[in-house]
Each structure stands twice: as C-alpha cells, then as structure tokens.
Copies of this chain bind each other. A is one copy, B any other.
C-alpha cells in the first residue's frame, strides 16, 4: 500500500523540501548528515519507494536495457541472456527480454518497442543483419551492441569469437587424425556465422591440407537434434564414401549425429569421430562425451553488457569489436591424439 506515497509525502513528513528528499534518495553528498537521517527515517516509516517511471521521465534514464534474442528457450541463448543479466545486475540495470525468432519484422518491431520504452541501450543477437535493421540501428538514439552476431561492413559494437578460425581448428584437428573426408553439418546458409564463417573455416582447413572439397560431405540442418540425426543418416547413405569424421555446427546436432551413428551400429570415436560446437551443457551429457568447440555464450553475454555499460558511462573503450578466445574442449567423441 505504499505505492501511492510520493516524494512529497516524505518531504512533508521530514519537514524538508522534495529536492532534499531527492538528494538523499540519490546519494547526493550535499546533505547535512542530520537532515539525511531525518529524511531516511521518514522514508523508512512511510515505506516510500521511488517511482522509477517518473524518475525516468525526469532524468531521461531508465536503468533498463533491452535484449533481443532469437529464442530464450534455446539453452544457447539462455546462457547468453544469463551472462547479460548478471552484469546488468552488477551495474544496476534491468533487462527487458524479447524473442525475435529471427523474424525480420519482429526484430524491427521489437527494436522500436524498446526504443519507445526509453531503454538506455540494447543488446541484440540475430542470425543476419538485414539492411532495414541496420538502418534502424544506425539512427538509434541509444547505443546497441551485437552479441554473437556478425557485423561486417558496419561498425557497430559487437562481441564474438572468431568463428572461421574456430571451425578451422575443429576441422584441422580431424584432419590431423588422418581423415581425408570430413563431413560438415551446419545450419541454414543464409545465417552468416554458420553459413559463411564456419563454412569458410571448413574449406580453409581442407584446402590447406590439399584435401578436395566435396559438396556431398556438407549437409544442412536446422540446429536441432533431429536434424543432426537426419543429416548423419544422409551422410551414411554415401556408403564407402561416407566421411568418418564429422564437424557439427551445434552440440545438439552433434548429439543427433552420434546417436544416428550408434543406431547404425557404429562406434564413436573408434569408427567415427565427431566434433560439436558451442560447448553447451549437453556436451557432457552424452556417451561418449562430446569434443566440441567452446563458444562461451555466457561470457559473450557478460562482455556485451559490460561493453554497453562502458559506452553508457562514456568510459574509455579500446575497441568496439571484441573477439573472445575460443578453444576446443577435447572429450571422448574424438580419439585422444
């Protein structure tokens, strides 16, 4: 029931002006300790809770940031969101979370809704930046940082890993194990990270090892377990020509791959080696445990948010475009050396 008591009530109770109350609420040092105490007592007694909306209107700061992700129910994005939220909390921000489903109109609509709500900044993750969206980004009155989202051609603040080199490393390690044919199971090609970067890394590794690129070794999935199974079964139909080493674009697809293999009576890693991507918790919940490229989504989220706070505080920033390190976590779906 303390929702209707205002700064003015507190002022009256403490026999000061509302400006003074505002000062103590905001920690302004120019308040005599005795006055501060008087005001604080009144606040406690009345159960005063500052109205953030009014505050936002007056100060033009809402201490709220918008977060747009494709789908929070996906463990991958959920991890990112947690990273964002944790550092947001640290800096006293709240998060308005939105799911875009990678839908172009929805992305734009959400962006506008968030701007309408006067968020202080936005963190965006999506598969590909469309022109319209970039145009909106460019004219945004508040800073926007891209998380795990590619940014070429535009110079928006962004946090990523080097996907191409990560994919290269993964495929390279497979090649180092003597494989001549490497299967590659990835997501939709129009997705920049999966379709372009990882693919490029795959080809680079092949090329460097003087291995031929064979189109039938790459198959498209949609990130899900089922699509991983399906893709592997498709590969299996190649018979003799089926690659014995698979790089899957996500852990979930890698799981599907391994199970498809096992269902067909093959052993992993003895007969087939499999590398995943992302290092979600899934990776350790399968037998054999999954060797995978670690893409630290939590960290990407945390760093993105930190970058955003730096921009908001006008702190010194080394670079707008940060690349986090990646590595391969070797587990049991690949042979040990």
Mark A residues whose CB is within 8 Å of B: 1-4, 49-54, 56-57, 62, 64, 71-75, 78-79, 81-82, 85-86, 89, 94-99, 112-118, 139, 141-142, 225, 252, 255-256, 259, 262, 281-282, 284-287, 298
**Bound complex: CA A50 to CA B57 (Å):** 13
Q: In the complex, what residues of B have CB within 8 A of residue A49's CB?
A: 112, 115-116
Output the residue of A78, A115, A281 with the most chain B CB within 10 A.
Answer: A78
Q: Are A118 and B51 in contact (CB under 8 A)?
A: yes
Identify the closest chain B residue to A142 (Cβ).
B3
**Bound complex: CA A89 to CA B255 (Å):** 33
Pairs across A and B, CB under 8 Å, 14 listed: A2-B139, A3-B115, A49-B115, A50-B116, A53-B53, A53-B117, A73-B81, A81-B97, A86-B99, A94-B114, A94-B117, A95-B96, A282-B282, A286-B286
The 7 A-B residue pairs whose C-beta atoms are closest, nearest first, are A3-B141, A73-B82, A78-B78, A97-B97, A52-B117, A53-B56, A53-B118
Identify the closest chain B residue to A3 (Cβ).
B141
Q: In the complex, what residues of B have CB within 8 A of residue A98's CB?
A: 85, 94-95
Q: In the complex, what residues of B have CB within 8 A of residue A71's CB?
A: 82
Q: Are B116 and A51 in contact (CB under 8 A)?
A: yes
Q: In the complex, what residues of B have CB within 8 A of residue A142's CB?
A: 3
Q: In the complex, what residues of B have CB within 8 A of residue A54's CB?
A: 57
